[in-house]
Amino acid sequence: MKQLVFAITMFLCTTQVTVAQTKRHARSPFIHSSASTQRFGGERGNAPANDDCANAQAIAIAIDCASPIAGDNSEATNDGPDATCDDPGAGLLDVWYTFNSGAEDTVAISLVPSVQMTDWAFVVYDGCGGTEIACRITPATPVDLEVAPGTDYWIRVYSNPNYGDPGPFALCVSTPTATGPPPANDNCTDVVPQALGIGSTLTVTGTTLNAVDNDGVGYPMVWETFTLGSCADVKISFCGTAPKIQDFWLLLYTSCSVDAFVTAGSYDSTACVDGNFTLCYSNLAAGSYYYPIPATLGNPDAYTMNVSATDCGSDGPVNDDCEGAIPLTASATCEPTSFSDRCATESLPAVNCGGFTGNASDDVWYSFVATATEMTIGGAPLGSMDIALELFSGGCGSLTSIACGDVNGSGAPDDMIASDLTIGSTYFFRVYDFRTQFAYGDPTYELCIVEGPGSGLGLEEPNEVSPGTIYPNPTQGDFTIQVGHEAALIDIDVIDATGRTVIAQQRQASNGVVSMLDNGSLNPGLYVVHINDGATVRSERLIVR
């Protein structure tokens, strides 16, 4: 379901709201580049031995984390109260550990997720059902925790399935590691900006070894700065850093107070031949800018940072504005072509589509000639992009919005269906990422334009019927849902392309399926079907012919 983008704070514990009313927001401006976008939808039938606090696994304090504890919350269930730094009422998938502080008054807790674990967090308590001592969401570095010597503590490692998947992880409780002096650029106020001219590139090298969080951003950081003499489009890249940067910051600050900042319009993982990332900042005013580089477990100590500047408005893609729209050819069946909106800038504010308004800071433009009165523009992300589409009639200087497509969330395809088109007329449409730039994944996607309702883009034919499968699909109206339970109450909502709920029913499954008979409410077109079995919520697309 669509959720509203929420403003974030600079810290690991952020203000959040219930998922039923919100659009997924990133929890910090920190990006971990290996994050997956696959949602957890499996059955949790084999809970781990330490699934509840009473059966917490005992672990010892280590001198270092050379041999961390291997854990896995893939099959975990919720056992515990709300975490203060997460959604109230969330069904957290948690496993439990306990340790005794011994002679220590400070310990370091390290939680390192696997590639499969795309949301990770931990809470520390002074007992089962006791007081919360610490709460950290997606920690990227070891967390120092003051403890009372000779005291037992409990660690609850969890994933919030509203934001990512559970999975294997490595956990370590150790004595704090002695460190040397911090780098010279550890404190933002100690760094002297270097001039960056239009058409030039500034390359700096440094290290994050022994960095600390002097500036209150929530992570150990070092800082690099530059000064612009005039308005510029700026790119920051880490080309040449080996091994490549895994974790990077999206905010570029205009002072060391970290209260004033600009956000990357998008970022790119292909511009550097070594796979390092490039961040794009458009229309920066003259002045000094400060960029933090996090010292995390995913990053090498040494880094190379390249900052380049071009004239304002000169560095976007060819189709950054309507006048540069890329023409596409309509066809009877979907023939997808891949595109990207990397380093694009906003042409128009985001459209309110089905009651949701995102962020159009990276919109790009396309055009096509109508070959039928009813046509569908299909868009399917190749990563975690939350694709949004808006269709216009008229020319670039006199556009009229006539349709939009933005029903599904991050990583899911969307169709924009338009009726009453004039055959032979040229129409323009734009594509952008609904999310703010506090988001995960490169903005790459596929597009196709077809005659009639529903493109089918992004819909794969399953090899076998699995829970959540709808068949037949496309359908003339009647359809069946495979729910994976012999007998269960299932909440089913069918939502049309405008965001209107046309069917809302609670049905009893029989032999693991629910049959839905069309009562005349499903006109030809594209629908989203939300299936809630009490344990998981699935969203599937349905095409009615």
- Give the CATH number for residue 54: 2.60.120.380
93 within domain boundaries: yes
Predicted confidence (pLDDT) per residue in 280-314, tens digit: 888 899 999 999 998 887 788 999 999 999 998 78
Same domain, 157 and 245: no
236 within domain boundaries: yes
CA atoms within 13 A on the CB side of 13: 9
Question: Is a pLDDT exceeding 50 seen at residue 15?
Answer: no
Q: How many domains does the chain have?
A: 4
Predicted confidence (pLDDT) per residue in 74-129, tens digit: 999 999 999 988 888 888 999 999 999 999 999 999 999 988 888 899 999 999 99
Same domain, 223 and 352: no
182 within domain boundaries: no
433 within domain boundaries: yes
Last residue of a domain, one of 146, 174, 202: 174
- Distance from chain centroid for Cα 3: 12
For 435, 498, 533, the CA distances from 538, given in Å and listed in that order, are 21, 19, 9
Mean pLDDT of 366-380: 93
Same domain, 256 and 295: yes
Please state, for a pLDDT cut of 70, what percent of the chain lies above it. 82
For 115, 164, 221, 411, the CA distances from 37, given in Å and listed in that order, are 10, 7, 27, 7
For residues 320, 326, 332 and 334, what is the CA-based torsion angle, rounded to 10 degrees? -50
Same domain, 219 and 159: no
Write 420-423 long-range contacts (CB < 8 A, 24+): 420/373, 420/374, 421/370, 421/372, 421/373, 421/374, 421/375, 422/370, 422/373, 423/370, 423/371, 423/372, 423/373
Same domain, 98 and 150: yes
13 within domain boundaries: no
What would the two tokens of residue 283 be? 């229309």
For 42, 143, 492, the CA distances from 467, given in Å and listed in that order, are 9, 39, 14
For 101, 105, 241, 523, the CA distances from 145, given in Å and listed in that order, are 11, 8, 32, 59
69 within domain boundaries: yes
CATH number, domain at 511? 2.60.40.1930
Last residue of a domain, one of 259, 292, 311: 311
Same domain, 218 and 298: yes
Who has greater pLDDT, 340 or 390?
A: 390
DSSP state of 504: E
* Domain housing 326: 322-451
Same domain, 302 and 360: no
For 278, 340, 400, the CA distances from 305, given in Å and listed in that order, are 10, 24, 43
Distance CA 298, CA 488 (A): 43
Same domain, 155 and 257: no
What would the two tokens of residue 133 be? 């001592």
Same domain, 302 and 401: no
Last residue of a domain, one of 417, 451, 485: 451
Same domain, 437 and 411: yes
Is the pTM higher than 0.85? The answer reads: no
Contact in structure between 128 and 54 (CB atoms under 8 Å) = yes
Same domain, 169 and 43: yes
Q: What is the pLDDT of residue 447?
A: 94
62 within domain boundaries: yes
Alpha helices by DSSP H, 227-266: none
Same domain, 488 and 447: no
Predicted confidence (pLDDT) per residue in 17-64, tens digit: 222 222 233 345 666 554 433 333 334 457 899 999 999 999 999 988
- The CA-CA-CA angle for residues 364, 453, 471, to 5°, reads 115
